[in-house]
Structure 1
Amino acid sequence: MSAPHPPPAKPPPAGADPAPRPRTPAAAPDRARGAMLGLAVGDALGAPAENMKPSQIRRRWGRIEGFVEEDPAGTDDTEYAIFSGLLLAAHGSALTVADVENAWHQWIADRDEGPFRGAGFSERGTLENLRRGLAAPISAQHRHAWSDGLAMRAAPFGVFAAGRPAEAARLVAIDGTVSHDGEGIYGGRAVAAGVATAMVARSTDAVIAAALSVVPEDSWTARSLRRAVGAAQRSRHDPDLTQLGTERAVRSAVVIGGYPWTDLAPEAVGLAFGAFAAARGDFSASVLTAVNMGRDADTTAAVAGALAGALGGTAAIPAPWARAIGPVRGSCLPSMAGYHVLDIAGLLAPGTSADEAGTAAR
């Protein structure tokens, strides 16, 4: 194996451009911050409800309307998104599968720290394969290659390739080759393309169309996304339907009742886009709809938050929620401890320095 090319040890100085790419006004700095901060907020809001049924959520909290823990924090979703963002900042559009594999080894698999608390099944399967000496794409041949582990870390690719959904989808598939296959890749492609379009769009319809444009029309991911969005759009035209009724409609459109795993990429992506569509892109409504539907709530809310945050920018995110997001703690990936999602926005969006990003967090 060639020597790994690690992500930068710290964000570059103000004005530095870590990877060559066209400097266009598409990657609006505020939308970049909104996408990454929205991901982290959604993750932290949804974490307590992960793997729960809506009925369990209601019994415990009523309807979740904000943070339900005194010390909210993100999960592996945020930490892996930071990992992928650093990797993308280091390599840009020249990213290769070998770059991704080397980074997994240096920053995750070959480290003694662990046990990578909260890591999903796809990540654990990938780590096991890499530690056995398997290389990509064989490293993705485990029982959970269809999981939402790529979708949860796809937003940085949309930020980087703002306005270029096909390029965002291409790059995230390169990242996913190490850990995912089939529907797992499609889920990442849909999210990356959706965020890339949300970075420059004004409507939810454009975002949804972009997501569908980069996955096979007959794929499970595309069918779930269409069903969830269709249910959300129909619910908007029913004046008698309550918020709970909307959530039930979107959830029942895609969830496989009785199936034990909640991290299915087609399901999670469908729920996230369904929540985004039901809320017409409003940030608070998007993430709270995702959270209250349960299942893999941290991931669905993180994806919905990235989409809505990219569409509306930082002003769309309630200030108390934004202020609650600090640097990640490294509970899953110790090598990512100390990074803030706004550092990643500063690295990926032309014209946004890390110092500016940090100021926005305060």
Structure 2
Amino acid sequence: MMDRTEMIDRAMGALIGGALGDALGMPTQLLSPARIAELYGHVEGFVAPVADHPVSKGLLAGTITDDTEQALLLGRILIVSGDRFDHTRWVNALLDWERDVKARGSYDLLGPSTKRAIDAINNGVPPEEAGSGGDTNGAAMRIAPVGIMMPLEPLDALVAKVAETCRATHNTSIAIASAAAVAAAVSNGVAGGDWHAALDHAVMAARRGAALGHWVTGGDIAARIDWARGLVRGRTVADGIRLITDLVGTGVASQESIPAAFAVLEIAGGDPWQAAIISANLGGDTDTIGAIAAGMAGACTGFSRLPQQHIARLKGLNVERVHALATDLVAARTAKAGSGKDAAA
């Protein structure tokens, strides 16, 4: 059984692990693996983006991006929402967030599915319909707080909460399955489970999630996670990276980046910093894949086992505020579990 202090440590591991993966992948996002190698060799620490980077230009090495900021934002909305997720508050929070990042001069704005949905809502489309085409990875990239707040069992309740938070922007079978997989992996970690168990729970959650939302065409997320894991199992990092980039894909499509994140977790052997490094060298949506992979790994190891010297170099993150959020989310979880304890998976 995990006591509350240990659960908060795992919750912090998910959120700060995600921030490490996000910041490490920030300068390499949208670049090809060849271009990353040309600029940096093999990325093994925080580096600054090139001056003409399409979305990261001007950011300092170690700066977090939308992946981490939106995860923390979702966490706060979950806490103030209580049992029924407040879609209006969530959409307004996303709009306020985008206004704020524009004012800061950032180019890393709302993703394609979220932007499309918010435009629709502003034009009078009901939130439950606005997200009917959202199938990219924005829901999965920010879902960790749901995994922290919701116990693994009953799994249907966890997946239903994931679907509820997806409704306004990513109300599709693929996006919900993807986000459910990531949330279940995080929830497993907060309950004391290891990364092997996280992968198994993720596949089960993805199967349940695929039955929800608007059906859209694309590879089955549960099957692709399972396949991607097997594809890289026992491979070297270099071979694993090549297999992910060649076969799994590293784009914003959920059916590429989410299986890629699980493949990264497999190659890294559950090590959050290694997961962040591997993701940063993939090319494509490196910051999001890194945030998801290192966040899941962090949930399964805990904040206390993350590399503190790298955390100290993160920019744009208030660790005390993250701790306060993690504490609130764990309190909500133990209230849902009923007994004040959450059995390990």
TM-score computed with the length of structure 1 as normaliser = 0.77
Task: Quote the Cα distance in structure 2 between the aligned partners of 1:226 and 1:86.
Answer: 32
Task: Quote the Cα distance in structure 1 between the aligned partners of 2:100 and 2:144.
Answer: 26
Instruction: Sort the Cα spacing of 1:111 and 1:124 in 2 relative to 1 into closer, same or farther, 3 A.
Output: closer
The answer to whether the 8 Å contact 2:21/2:273 transfers is no
The answer to whether the 8 Å contact 1:40/1:341 transfers is no
1:319 counterpart (308, 328, 345): 308
1:255 corresponds to: 249
Structure 2 counterpart of 1:122, which letter? Answer: S
2:28 counterpart (30, 49, 65): 49
Task: Quote the Cα distance in structure 1 between the aligned partners of 2:303 and 2:139.
Answer: 24
Task: Quote the Cα distance in structure 2 between the aligned partners of 1:141 and 1:349.
Answer: 31
1:104 equivalent to 2:91? Answer yes
Of 111-120 and 185-194, deviating more is 111-120
Of 221-230 and 343-352, deviating more is 343-352
The answer to whether the 8 Å contact 2:272/2:295 transfers is no
Q: Deviations over 1:151-184 (max 9, x none)?
A: 0011111111244454332212101010012211
The answer to whether the 8 Å contact 2:73/2:93 transfers is no
The answer to whether the 8 Å contact 2:13/2:295 transfers is yes
Structure 2 counterpart of 1:101, which letter? Answer: T
1:179 equivalent to 2:172? Answer no
The answer to whether the 8 Å contact 2:7/2:192 transfers is no
The answer to whether the 8 Å contact 1:189/1:214 transfers is yes
Structure 1: state its 5+ residue gaps: 1-22, 236-241, 257-261, 330-337, 353-362
1:79 corresponds to: 69
How many residue pairs are counted as aligned between the two chains?
306
Output aligned runs, 1:1-362, within 5 Å. 25=4, 28-69=7-48, 70-92=60-82, 94-96=83-85, 99-105=86-92, 108=95, 115=102, 117-118=107-108, 119-142=110-133, 145-164=134-153, 165-180=155-170, 181-216=172-207, 220-235=220-235, 242-255=236-249, 262-328=251-317, 340-350=321-331
Task: Quote the Cα distance in structure 2 between the aligned partners of 1:276 and 1:324.
Answer: 23
The answer to whether the 8 Å contact 2:237/2:267 transfers is no
Deviation at 1:141, TM superposition (A): 3.5
Q: Deviations over 1:317-338 (max 9, x none)?
A: 2112211235459xxxxxxxx9
Task: Quote the Cα distance in structure 2 between the aligned partners of 1:190 and 1:229.
Answer: 13
In proportion to residue count, which structure has more helix? 2
Q: Deviations over 1:298-341 (max 9, x none)?
A: 11000111111111111332112211235459xxxxxxxx9943
The answer to whether the 8 Å contact 2:20/2:273 transfers is no
Of 286-295 and 36-45, deviating more is 286-295
Task: Quote the Cα distance in structure 2 between the aligned partners of 1:292 and 1:112.
Answer: 31
Structure 2 counterpart of 1:131, which letter? Answer: N
Task: Quote the Cα distance in structure 2 between the aligned partners of 1:318 and 1:110.
Answer: 29
Q: Deviations over 1:44-79 (max 9, x none)?
A: 111111112211111110111010124421111111
The answer to whether the 8 Å contact 1:254/1:270 transfers is yes
Structure 2: state its 5+ residue gaps: 49-59, 211-218, 334-345
The answer to whether the 8 Å contact 2:64/2:315 transfers is no
Say what the alpha-carbon RMSD is for the aligned residues: 2.8
Task: Quote the Cα distance in structure 1 between the aligned partners of 2:117 and 2:136.
Answer: 12
Of 150-159 and 25-34, deviating more is 25-34
TM-score computed with the length of structure 2 as normaliser = 0.80
